A and B are shown apart, each in its own frame.
Chain A
Amino acid sequence: MIPVSNFLYLAAILFAIGLSAVLLRRNALIVLMGVELMLNAANLTLLAFARAHHDLRGHAIAFLVIATAAAEAAVGLAIVVGIFRTRHTANIDEVTLMKH
Chain B
Amino acid sequence: MSDFPLHLIPLLPLVAAALNLAIGRKLPRDASSLLAVGSVAASLLISVVAFSRMAGGEGAVQPLHETWYTWIATSSFKIDAAFVMDALSGVMTLIVTGVGLLIHIYSIGYMSHERDYARYFGYLNLFMGSMLILVLGDNLVASFVGWEGVGVCSYLLIGFWYDKEYNAYAGRKAFVVNRIGDFGFLLGIFLLLTAVGTVNFGELEGKRTLLSAPLWGKNVAFWGGLLLFVGATGKSAQLPLYVWLPDAMAGPTPVSALIHAATMVTAGVYMVVRLHIFYAFGPSLGLAPHLGGAVMIVGCATAFWAASMAFAQTDIKKVLAYSTISQLGFMFVGAAGAVPSSGIFHLMTHAFFKAGLFLGAGSVMHAMSDRTDILEMGGLRKKVPITHACFLLYTLAIAGCPGFSGFFSKDAILGSAAGVDQVLPAWHHFGLATSLVLLAVAAMTSFYMFRLYFLVFSGESRADKHVAAHIHESPPVMTVPLAVLALLSVVGGLVGTPWHDLLGEFLGAPPEVSIPWQNMLGGTAAFAAGLLGAYLCYAGGVRAPVQRFAKGLPWLYDLVKNKYYVDELYDTIIVRPTKLVAHGFADVFDKFLIDSVLVGGLARLVDGIGYLVRRVQNGDVQRYLATMVIGAAVLIWLAARPPADFAVEVQGTTVTVVAAGTGRGVPRRLRYCWRIDGADKCESERPRDSLRITPGRHKITLRVWDADWGTSASRSLEVHGS
Contacts of A24 in B (CB 8 A): 622
Compute how far the CA of A92 lies from the CA of B623 in the bound complex, rounded to whole angstroms. Answer: 13
Compute how far the CA of A19 lies from the CA of B622 in the bound complex, rounded to whole angstroms. Answer: 10
- Near B by CB (< 8 A), chain A positions 1-45 give 19, 22-24
Closest to B626 in A: A23
* Contact assessment for B625 and A23 in the assembled complex, using a CB-CB cutoff below 8 Å: yes
Closest to B629 in A: A19
- Near A by CB (< 8 A), chain B positions 616-658 give 619-622, 625-626, 629
Contact of A99 with B by CB under 8 A: yes
* Contact assessment for B619 and A23 in the assembled complex, using a CB-CB cutoff below 8 Å: no
Interface of B is mostly: helix
Compute how far the CA of A2 lies from the CA of B34 in the bound complex, rounded to whole angstroms. Answer: 108
Interface size on A (CB < 8 Å)? 8
- The listed residue with most A CB atoms (<10 A of its CB), out of B622, B626, B629, is B622
Closest to B623 in A: A23
Contacts of A23 in B (CB 8 A): 622, 625-626, 629
Closest to A98 in B: B619
- Near B by CB (< 8 A), chain A positions 75-100 give 92-93, 96, 99
**B510 CB, min distance to chain A CBs, angstroms:** 93
Question: Given B619, B622, B625, B626, which contacts A99 in the complex, CB threshold below 8 Å?
Answer: B619
0/1 string, B596-623, CB within 8 A of A gives 1: 0000000000000000000000011110
Compute how far the CA of A22 lies from the CA of B629 in the bound complex, rounded to whole angstroms. Answer: 11
* Contact assessment for A22 and B619 in the assembled complex, using a CB-CB cutoff below 8 Å: no
Compute how far the CA of A97 lies from the CA of B451 in the bound complex, rounded to whole angstroms. Answer: 88
Question: Given B619, B622, B626, which contacts A96 in the complex, CB threshold below 8 Å?
Answer: B619
Compute how far the CA of A96 lies from the CA of B621 in the bound complex, rounded to whole angstroms. Answer: 10
Contacts of B620 in A (CB 8 A): 93
Contacts of A22 in B (CB 8 A): 622, 625
Contacts of B629 in A (CB 8 A): 19, 23
- Near A by CB (< 8 A), chain B positions 76-113 give none
Closest to A99 in B: B619
**B60 CB, min distance to chain A CBs, angstroms:** 92
**A94 CB, min distance to chain B CBs, angstroms:** 12
**B262 CB, min distance to chain A CBs, angstroms:** 72
Closest to B621 in A: A92
Closest to A96 in B: B619
Closest to A25 in B: B622
Give me 13 A-to-B residue pairs in the complex whose CB atoms sit less than 8 angstroms apart, sorted by A's number: A19-B629, A22-B622, A22-B625, A23-B622, A23-B625, A23-B626, A23-B629, A24-B622, A92-B621, A92-B622, A93-B620, A96-B619, A99-B619
Residues of B that sit less than 8 Å from A by CB: 619-622, 625-626, 629
- 11 more contacts with CB within 8 A, not counting A22-B625, A96-B619, are A19-B629, A22-B622, A23-B622, A23-B625, A23-B626, A23-B629, A24-B622, A92-B621, A92-B622, A93-B620, A99-B619
Residues of A that sit less than 8 Å from B by CB: 19, 22-24, 92-93, 96, 99
